[in-house]
Amino acid sequence: MSFVAELVAAFHALENPENAYWMRGYMRDQYPFLGIKKPERAVVFKEIYKSHGRSADWFEVCSELFAMPEREFQYAAMEYLLKAQKSWDHRVPALVDQWVDAKTWWDVVDVLGPKVLGAYFLQFPADRDVWIARWMASPVFWHQRLCILYQLGYKTKTDLRVFSAVILSLNSSKEFFIQKAIGWALRQYARTDADWVLEFVAENSLMPLSKREALKHIS
């Protein structure tokens, strides 16, 4: 049995309609769920991956899993993608782009941005500017959220020129998920350089939500 077939069978065996109801509601009925909580899902994924997960092509496995209707399979697709980091190639940002267009919400974007793209652009820095420019020009605001969040874990590696430019380009957005992401990114960078964040906020008229989030943990 292939990795995908075995994972599908195992996930369906754990299906819990009551959990699925609440999980679907928490995600505002955007996608169906099987009702498998994260700890259970992690155990099953780990066991099956250990058996034969590395033997399959990561691109095919991820694509097949992400295309399935239930949200747990999209989570599994992203987990498999992260496991395959040593084998990544230039198909990664195209796959992210496709996934954001297909089945996006904050739960997917907030993994694809900092965890996937964050690692990918450090590994393939020459690809960064092309994709950032493409996503900043996209009519889908989730693409812009990727651009804000991909440096979330960079700390001293943060490219402040790009970071500032992305934030200021989106600063007038009325979209909650953009304003929230700007504040989150600034708040996170404040752990590395609080003075820079204080100065940036003082010099630029951020939306109230973004400003509040940015300064939340700065005394």
| Model confidence pLDDT, tens digit, residues 142-162 | 999 999 999 999 999 999 999
pLDDT value at position 199? 97
Helix 71-83, helix 3-13: angle, nearest 10: 140
In the predicted structure, residue 102 carries a pLDDT above the cut 90: no
Confidence check: pLDDT of 104 > 90 = no
User: Does the structure show a pLDDT above 70 at 42?
Assistant: yes
Share of the chain above pLDDT 90, in %: 89
Q: How confident is the model at residue 53 (pLDDT cuts 50, 70, 90)?
A: low
Average pLDDT over residues 48-75: 90
Rounded CA-CA distance 22/62 in Å is 26
| Average pLDDT score over the chain | 95
pLDDT tens digits for 183-202? 999 999 999 999 999 999 99
Q: What is the pLDDT of residue 103?
A: 79
